[in-house]
């Protein structure tokens, strides 16, 4: 029952002067603590970093499930090679609803195929048409 105005879209915005953004936050891959390993894929939540939301890479492309603990450690030690590039980041978002072309079509078709009813009187930007996405279906 949440509506878009009930959500804090930029949770870290008020704290940037106290804790500035560090590029290590854009590291993409496995991180681990002891034997526990977790995929950390910021490209799947770019909006939090004020970038246009793009269609994320497949998790296996960045964090293959078969990676060993030693391989994870090596990636972490050389994390600058695993930081998202400017091409992956795309352009800066100016509105919380900014997305890359084709993202909304992908989002409703792949990421969130179950669409909730929109309350009467609430306007929602319609998904754009993207020839590449349309050809996939």
70-103 pLDDT, tens per residue?
Answer: 888 888 888 888 888 888 877 888 887 788 888 8
Domain-embedded: residue 71: yes
Domain-embedded: residue 22: yes
Domain-embedded: residue 54: yes
Domain-embedded: residue 106: yes
Residue with tokens 């560090």: 22
Domain-embedded: residue 7: no
Tokens found for residue 126: 């319609």
Domain-embedded: residue 124: no
Count structural domains, the chain.
1
CA dist 104 and 110 (Å) reads 10
Phi then psi dihedrals of residue 133, to 5 deg: -70, -40
CA distances from 66 to 37, 38, 63, 129, 135 (A): 11, 13, 9, 37, 32
Domain-embedded: residue 125: no
Domain-embedded: residue 1: no
Work out the number of other CB atoms within 10 angstroms of the CB of residue 53: 22
- Which domain covers residue 80, as residue numbers? 13-111
Handedness of CA 13, 19, 20, 25 (dihedral sign): negative
- The tens digit of pLDDT for each residue in 15-71 reads 667 766 677 778 888 888 888 888 888 887 776 677 788 887 887 877 888 888 888
């Amino acid at each position: 029952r949440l509506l878009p105005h009930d959500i804090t879209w930029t949770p870290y915005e008020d704290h940037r002067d106290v804790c500035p953004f560090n590029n290590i936050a854009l590291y993409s891959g496995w991180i681990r603590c002891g034997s526990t390993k977790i995929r950390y894929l910021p490209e799947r939540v770019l909006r939090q970093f004020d970038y246009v939301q793009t269609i994320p890479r497949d998790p296996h492309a960045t964090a293959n499930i078969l990676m060993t603990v030693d391989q994870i450690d090596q990636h972490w030690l050389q994390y600058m090679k695993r930081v998202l590039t400017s091409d992956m980041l795309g352009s800066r978002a100016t509105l919380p609803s900014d997305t890359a072309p084709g993202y909304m079509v992908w989002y409703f078709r792949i990421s969130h195929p179950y669409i909730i009813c929109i309350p009467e009187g609430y306007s929602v930007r319609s998904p754009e048409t993207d020839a590449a996405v349309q050809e996939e279906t």
